[in-house]
């Protein structure tokens, strides 16, 4: 759930001695003091955003960090890429379908992967790939991907 995603992110962010950016949780959830301490001295914001707000957040974000074994299709991954925002995800099947080779994948540690996003060359490469990748998604292709996720959920 959301709590676990937040916990994974803040554990990783806390490992950085230098905190280069503030944090925005876009689900509007309560931010525990432990998370605020993990991000200090940077602030942590939480908000439920409308479409215009999400686009603004994506366009001004360093990255979308989506640390989850999320079972859905991962529409936020495509939304972020369409706004030119790098995406960090775990390599599970549902999100790999959305991320293709345009996402940053967590291999060893989330903290290390988050640091990769700050590399200007890698960042530019993933942004470019993301913008191209999003163009390849048709409604038919997205419907097939969602259908596959639903079928795998039913099988379990």
Q: Each residue of 112-156: pLDDT tens digit?
A: 999 999 999 999 999 999 999 988 877 676 677 667 666 666 766
Long-range contact set of residues 49-52: C-beta below 8 Å, sequence gap at least 24: none
For residue 64, give both structure tokens.
Answer: 């979308």
| Least confident stretch, 3-7, 17-21, 58-62, 132-136 | 3-7
* CATH code of the domain containing 43: 3.40.50.2000
pLDDT in tens, 50-99: 989 999 999 999 999 987 665 566 788 889 999 999 999 988 757 787 88
| H-state helical runs in 20-138 | 33-39, 51-60, 75-82, 93-99, 110-116, 120-135
Please state whether 100 falls in left (phi above 0), alpha (psi between -120 and 50) or beta.
left
CB atoms within 10 A of CB 8: 16
Q: Which domain holds residue 51?
A: 2-155
The yes-or-no verdict on residue 1 having pLDDT over 50 is no
pTM: 0.83
CB-count burial class (<10 Å; 0-12, 13-18, 19+) for 28: exposed
What residues pair up with 105 in beta bridges, in sequence order? 89
Provide the number of structural domains found in the chain: 1
Return the H-helix or E-strand segment holding 25.
strand 23-25
Tell me what pLDDT residue 74 has.
74
* Main-chain phi, psi angles of 122, to 5 degrees: -60, -45
């Amino acid at each position: 759930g959301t709590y676990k995603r937040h916990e994974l992110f803040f554990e990783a962010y806390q490992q950085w001695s230098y905190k280069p950016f503030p944090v925005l949780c876009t689900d509007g959830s309560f931010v525990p003091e432990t998370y605020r301490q993990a991000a200090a001295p940077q602030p942590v914001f939480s908000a439920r955003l409308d479409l215009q707000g999400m686009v603004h957040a994506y366009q001004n974000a360093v990255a979308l960090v989506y640390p989850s074994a999320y079972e859905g299709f991962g529409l936020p991954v495509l939304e972020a890429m369409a706004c030119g925002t790098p995406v960090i995800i775990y390599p599970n099947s549902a999100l790999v379908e959305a991320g293709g080779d345009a996402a940053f994948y967590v291999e060893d540690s989330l903290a290390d992967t988050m640091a990769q996003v700050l590399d200007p060359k890698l960042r530019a490469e993933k942004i470019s790939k993301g913008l191209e990748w999003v163009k390849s998604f048709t409604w038919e292709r997205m419907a097939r991907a969602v259908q596959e996720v639903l079928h795998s959920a039913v099988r379990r």
